[in-house]
Amino acid sequence: MARSTVAAVVADGLARAGTRRVFAAPGAPTALLQAARARGLAVVETATVTGACVMAAVTGELDAAPGAAAVSLAGGAGAIAEGAAHAARDRAPVIIVSGAAPDAPLLAPVVKASLAPDAASAGHWIAHAAQLAMAAPCGAVHLAVDLDVAGAPALPVATSCRRPPMPAAPADVLDALAAAIAAAARPVLVTGLEVAEADATWVRALAETLPAPVLCTAKGKGALPDPHPLALGLLTPGHPLAARADLVVALGVDAVELSPAAWPAAARTAHVGHRPCGLLYRAVVEVVADIGLVIEELAPRLRGRARADWDVAELDRLKRALATPAAAGAGLARHRVVAIVREATPAGTLAALDVPLAAAWQAVAPRELLIPNGVATPGFALPAALAAALARDGRRVVAIGAASGMVAPGGELATAARLALPIVMIALDPDGIALEPARRAGVAAWQADDEAGLRAAFARAWSAGRPALVSARVGR
């Protein structure tokens, strides 16, 4: 470890928590960045504070370890508050490190805590910050390190910076959950943001064993691959399948993901997740534990259960009826842009969207679709795609979003050009404003006015081997 200063102890705590890189906005504390590099953490410079926070949040989602953003409070806490609020909405573990400033208390509504480590307590507070950021519900923790404090000598402390494992579910609660599922004639599974890649195999096994159709939230897509016959799309208000269910089994669903109108209030609900279900619904059975382990424990308890009363042919007809129809005419419809890009990319491609078009992206694994909960942070798609490309080295990434956010002045186009990652940006661009800013930033750019033009432009952008943008002239 670098010389034992407060900054070095903070950097060491981040590394021991599993953090691999720090996203540094202009004016970020120099002492922390030097200590991070000395500890072996990559430092990625960003153009904006909000971009640094979004990239840290997406990294936290993908790495299951705290993302880290180093920022300056000199210009006020507004941009940091926006980034922290994004992390809170998306349940993303983030540690935001700044110098101390008088307006830091303004972050209080959107961070889980604002901590000020000193020389005597730096090891304790960075460990606490990492564990707090990762505790359900995940969110942002602010760490204020004054310039004078950062260089002060500090004693490293061997404190755990990792999230402790969740306790096992009690046997009687598992028995009650199994009994509720066994008694249901038409169970439906709903997957949410807490379902991790390791859980997906168990979700599929449960769905196929019952059998039960699976709905998902936007952030829960891919827990069962979208092409699977039992994957029936997004849980939206009035979904015809939800209305017919006599038991809804919520797997990793967080109340922040859905409006109350989307939940089938008439159906009994069982909840499995990392924390209690909250106010979205009242569960007849609630299991707070690791999702994959709960499903594994259900297997022997459901052995010999009568099969659910779902007609697979009927589910297939419903799945086809719910598919988004193709757009007519020569213009570009937004959902067709997403669908065409999906058709042109191989399995495993990651997509970052800041528009509500999740239904059009076919995901085959969790975390393949990166999309914000609720109202999107302006310009989310581009920094999210950059973070995903760094976190998933070797995986291709596309960013699809509003042109105004993608090429905003002072945004992350220059960051994309500097990092030279082979991401493809699709700007939904009715006014054609994206081409020139992209080219000025050093990003290859093409325009597409119809579906044939989009396919051709995307093929060129995909094979460019560097950041590339397609301006898709969608209708208003």
Distance of CA 446 to the CA centre of its chain: 29
| 397: nearest Cα among 440, 367, 375 | 367
Q: Which fold has domain 171-322?
A: Rossmann fold (3.40.50)
Q: How many residues can be counted in the chain? A: 476
Which has more pLDDT, 208 or 374? Answer: 208
Task: Give the pLDDT score at 324.
Answer: 57
Task: Give the pLDDT score at 73.
Answer: 75
Read off the pLDDT band of 156 (50, 70, 90).
Answer: confident
107's CB contacts (< 8 A; 6+ apart) are 77, 80, 81, 84, 114, 142
Task: Tell me which range, 97-111, 282-296, 402-416, is most confidently predicted by mean pLDDT.
Answer: 282-296
Delimit the domains of the chain by residue range: 6-150, 171-322, 334-472
Read off the pLDDT band of 412 (50, 70, 90).
Answer: very high
d(CA 251, CA 281): 13
Task: Report, as an integer, the average pLDDT of 25-35.
Answer: 93
Task: Give the pLDDT score at 102.
Answer: 56
d(CA 330, CA 461): 22
Task: Give the pLDDT score at 308.
Answer: 87
Read off the pLDDT band of 394 (50, 70, 90).
Answer: confident
> Domain 334-472, what architecture?
3-Layer(aba) Sandwich (3.40)
The answer to whether 232 and 254 are in contact (CB under 8 A) is no
The answer to whether 233 and 319 are in contact (CB under 8 A) is yes
Give, for 148, the enclosing helix (H) or strand (E).
helix 147-150
d(CA 177, CA 270): 7
Lowest mean pLDDT among 146-150, 160-164, 228-232, 422-426: 160-164
d(CA 118, CA 121): 5
Task: Give the pLDDT score at 326.
Answer: 53
**For residue 221, is pLDDT > 80?**
yes
| 365: nearest Cα among 207, 191, 187 | 191
**For residue 174, is pLDDT > 90?**
yes
**For residue 2, is pLDDT > 70?**
no
Which top CATH class is 6-150? Answer: alpha beta
Tell me whether domains 171-322 and 334-472 share a fold.
Answer: yes
Structure tokens at 194: 């807490």
Give, for 98, the enclosing helix (H) or strand (E).
strand 94-98
Residue 137: asked if its preceding bond is cis (omega within 30°), the reply is yes
